């Protein structure tokens, strides 16, 4: 199924009213918008011939015409069907078209929506249904089987191992890695009254929230896409939530942000804000296309963070955060964190070194080994 990107501009909005707060943060706005997506209207000669007609007996007959593809797509992109995943697929498509004239023609790039395990099971916390590969497994299978040519992923969803016969040679330029605070009544976590409930599906967020604000409560099965979570917030199921600022920017929904959490207050997930694009190991044509899009600074930072995560053998049951970036002198600065799920214990470390692949991977592994040693057996309670 290829949903035209024009549907983004046709999306309807549900306006959520923000309640007054005793303090107004500079990022606060008067409303929160949740965007829903609908299929674009399709018109063609084939469909024009297939309109509803009234039969002599009074029954309405309808027929469905399927337009024949005029050409075979040069690139088939596999992605999840959430609005954010589609936005990332459209971004990939536009970057490919800007680099390669042969991809500009309509139909040259086809977007295939693939439903993943993480999309199908929404009634349980992520930690209870498997952790690794929940949002990538089915897309990877479609790639390996040749149903798609490239797979577009949120890098924070990608396990530290890659399936056989696949490579991930491309990262697009990274978006803002910070988390955004979303609330109708307060401008920050610190302003929430004791006993307030914060919704999140992330143990990383839960542990850091409870470590700094133990008087708050966390609803950890706060699942769904951005629009669903905002609707739950408006419905009063929670008093606040945290969302990745990168996703809100890609959806043009930053008006929802009450405030942005600093890296000291909330260290991000490994690879947060980064888009990764995979292809088959034997597909040189796709590898060449992806090489033209790769942002090397982002790729190196993600490699450092994922080396840290792999050393810790992290999963959705393990609160882990990590962030690598280039400083003003051109060096890599890495910060890593592990925590107990209840937030009572948090261990942090940092590294600095050359912004070179081998050095950065070594830094990530070394930081992971340090925290493993400091945490000791039983630290994570499982």
The residues carrying an active-site annotation are 157
CA dist list (Å): 107 to 4, 72, 163, 326: 10, 7, 29, 39
* 231 vs 226: CA distance, rounded Å: 9
d(C-alpha 1, C-alpha 9), whole Å:
19
**In 10 A of CB 209, how many CB atoms?**
24
Structure tokens at 33: 């918008």
Instruction: Tell me how long the chain is.
Output: 382
Closest CA to 114 of 146, 96, 136: 136
Give the dihedral sign, CA 175/166/107/48: negative
| 3-class DSSP string for 38-60 | CCCCCCCHHHHCCCCEECCCCCE
What are the start-end ranges of the H helices in 49-157? 83-99, 117-120, 137-144
Query: Which strands make up the sheet holding 197-199, listed edge to edge?
Result: 217-219, 197-199, 240-244, 179-183, 259-260
Count of CB atoms situated within 10 Å of the CB of 377: 6
Rounded CA-CA distance 137/140 in Å is: 5
């Amino acid at each position: 199924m290829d949903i035209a990107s024009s549907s983004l501009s046709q999306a309807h909005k549900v306006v959520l009213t923000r309640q007054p707060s005793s303090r107004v943060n500079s990022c606060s706005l008067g409303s929160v918008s949740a965007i829903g997506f609908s299929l674009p209207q399709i018109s063609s000669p084939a469909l024009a011939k297939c309109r509803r007609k009234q039969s002599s007996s009074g029954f309405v007959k309808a027929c469905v015409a399927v337009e024949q593809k005029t050409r075979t797509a040069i690139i088939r992109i596999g992605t999840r069907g959430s609005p954010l995943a589609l936005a990332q697929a459209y971004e990939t498509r536009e970057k490919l078209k800007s680099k390669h004239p042969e991809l500009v023609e309509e139909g040259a790039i086809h977007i295939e929506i693939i439903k993943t395990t993480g999309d199908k099971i929404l009634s349980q916390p992520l930690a209870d249904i498997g952790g690794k590969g929940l949002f990538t497994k089915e897309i990877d299978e479609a790639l390996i089987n040749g149903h798609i040519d490239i797979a577009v992923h949120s890098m924070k969803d990608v396990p530290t191992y890659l399936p056989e016969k696949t490579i991930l040679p491309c990262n697009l330029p990274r978006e803002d890695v910070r988390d955004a605070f979303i609330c109708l009544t307060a401008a920050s976590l610190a302003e929430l009254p004791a006993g307030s409930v914060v919704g999140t599906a992330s143990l990383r967020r839960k542990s850091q929230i409870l470590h700094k604000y133990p008087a708050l409560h966390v609803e950890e099965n706060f699942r769904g896409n951005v629009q669903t979570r905002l609707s739950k917030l408006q419905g009063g199921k929670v008093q606040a939530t945290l969302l990745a600022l990168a996703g809100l920017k890609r959806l043009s929904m930053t008006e929802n942000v009450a405030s942005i959490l600093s890296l000291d207050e909330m260290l991000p997930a490994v690879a947060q804000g980064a888009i990764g694009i995979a292809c088959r190991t034997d597909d040189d044509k796709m590898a060449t296309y992806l090489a033209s899009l790769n942002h090397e600074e982002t790729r190196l930072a993600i490699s450092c963070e994922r080396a840290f995560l792999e050393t810790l053998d992290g999963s959705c049951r393990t609160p882990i955060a990590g962030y690598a970036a280039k400083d003003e002198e051109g060096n890599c600065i890495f910060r890593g964190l592990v925590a107990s799920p209840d937030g009572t214990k948090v261990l942090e470390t940092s590294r600095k070194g050359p912004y070179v692949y081998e050095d950065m991977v070594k830094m990530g592994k070394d930081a992971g080994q340090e925290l493993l040693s400091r945490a000791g057996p039983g630290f994570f309670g499982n």
